[in-house]
A and B are shown apart, each in its own frame.
Chain A
Amino acid sequence: MTIPSTAAPPAAHEAGALAAQAKQRKRGGRRRPAISRRGELLTGYTFMTPWIIGSLVFTLGPMLWSLYLSFTDYHLILGGDFIGLDNYTAMFADPMFSRAVKVTLLYVVLAVPLKLLASLAVAMLLTQKRRGIGFYRAAFYMPSLIAMSVGMALVWKALFAADGPQDQFMSLFGWEGGGFIGNPDVSILMLVLLSVWTFGAPMVIFMAGLLQVPGELYEAAEVDGAGKWHRFVHITIPMLSPVIFFNVLMETVHAFQMFGPAFIIGGTAGGPAWSTLFYTVRIYALAFVDLRMGYASAWAWMLVLAVGVVTLIMFRAAKNLVYYAGEDNK
Chain B
Amino acid sequence: MISHPYRLRRRSLLTGASAAAVLAAAAACGDDGPAGTADDPIEISFEWWGDETRADLTNQVITLFQEKNEGIKVTANFADFPTYWEGMAGRMASRDLPDVFQMDYSRLRQFGGAGMLLPLEGVVKTDDFREGFLETAKLDGQLIAVPAAGNTLGLIYRSDWFEANGVAAPAPGYSWDQYSADIATLTPALGEGKWGGGDWAGQYHFMELWLRQQGGSFYTEDGKALNFTQEQLAEWWTTTADLYAAGNVPPVETTIEWTEGGLVQDVLASEIGWDNFMPGFSPTVEANGGTLALAAPPSLDPSNLGLYLKPSMQLVISAATEQAEAAAKFVDFFLGDPEALAILGTNRGIPATNVGLENAEIDQYAQAVLDYEASVSQYLTTPPPAPPAATGAIEVKFGEIYQQVQYAAMSPAEAAALLFTEAETLLAAEQ
Contact = CB atoms under 8 A, between A and B. Distances in A.
Interface of A: 73, 75-78, 95, 161-162, 178-179, 181-184, 267-269, 271-274, 285, 288-293
B110 interface: yes
Given A161-B257, A290-B393, A78 B404 contact: no
B228 interface: no
Interface core residue of B403, B406, B429 (most chain A CB under 10 Å):
B429
B91 to A, nearest CB: 10
Contact of A77 (B89, B253, B396, B426): B89
A289 B393 contact: yes
A102 B120 CA distance: 49
Interface in B79-96: 82, 86, 89-90, 92-93
B93 A162 contact: no
A272 B407 contact: yes
Closest 7 CB pairs of A and B: A182-B253, A273-B407, A269-B400, A77-B114, A76-B93, A290-B393, A288-B86
Contacts of B253: 162, 178-179, 182-183, 272
Contact of B257 (A179, A289, A292): A179
A181 B429 CA distance: 33
Contacts of A292: 426, 429
Contact of B404 (A75, A183, A274): A274
A182 B255 CA distance: 9
A269 B92 contact: no
A179 B396 CA distance: 24
B389 interface: yes
A157 to B, nearest CB: 9
A57 to B, nearest CB: 15
B25 interface: no
B404 A273 contact: yes
Interface string B399-431: 110011011010000000010010000100110
Nearest to A161: B257
A293 B89 CA distance: 11
**Could you say which interface size class chain B belongs to?**
20 to 34
Contact of A76 (B90, B404, B407, B421): B90
Contacts of A73: 429
Interface core residue of B111, B400, B421, B430 (most chain A CB under 10 Å):
B400
Contact of A184 (B90, B392, B407): B407
Given A268-B396, A272-B403, A289-B86, A75 B418 contact: no
B8 interface: no
B252 interface: yes
A269 B403 CA distance: 10
Contact of B421 (A78, A95, A269): A95
16 contacts: A75-B430, A76-B93, A77-B92, A77-B111, A77-B114, A161-B257, A181-B256, A181-B257, A269-B400, A272-B407, A273-B403, A273-B406, A273-B409, A288-B89, A289-B393, A292-B426
Interface in B172-217: none
A49 to B, nearest CB: 22
B53 interface: no
Contact of B430 (A78, A273, A288): A78
B364 interface: no
B192 to A, nearest CB: 13
Contact of B93 (A77, A179, A290): A77
Given A162-B257, A268-B82, A289-B86, A78 B114 contact: yes
B254 interface: yes
Contacts of B110: 77
Contacts of A182: 252-254, 256-257
A75 B389 CA distance: 11
A182 B257 CA distance: 7
Contacts of A77: 89, 92-93, 110-111, 114, 116, 389
B1 to A, nearest CB: 16
A272 B400 CA distance: 9
Interface string B359-401: 0000000000000000000000000000001101100100110
Contacts of B409: 184, 273
Nearest to B115: A77
A77 B393 CA distance: 14
A291 B89 contact: yes
Interface string B311-335: 0000000000000000000000000
Nearest to B409: A273
A179 B258 CA distance: 13
Contact of B256 (A272, A289, A290, A293): A272
Contacts of B92: 76-77
Nearest to B407: A273
A293 B396 contact: no
B338 to A, nearest CB: 38
A258 B349 CA distance: 40
A290 B404 contact: no
A289 B403 contact: no
A135 to B, nearest CB: 37
A271 B392 contact: no
Given A77-B110, A274-B400, A290 B257 contact: no
B389 to A, nearest CB: 7
A271 B403 contact: yes
B252 to A, nearest CB: 7
A77 B111 CA distance: 8
Nearest to B399: A269
A96 B416 CA distance: 15
A271 B92 CA distance: 27
Contact of B254 (A95, A162, A289, A293): A162
A95 B426 contact: no
Given A268-B396, A273-B407, A290-B393, 12 more contacts: A77-B93, A78-B389, A162-B257, A182-B254, A182-B256, A268-B86, A269-B400, A272-B256, A273-B252, A285-B396, A290-B429, A291-B389
Contacts of A75: 429-430
Contacts of B114: 77-78
Contacts of B418: 95
Nearest to B417: A95
Contacts of A268: 82, 86, 396
A77 B108 CA distance: 13
Nearest to B90: A288
B109 to A, nearest CB: 11
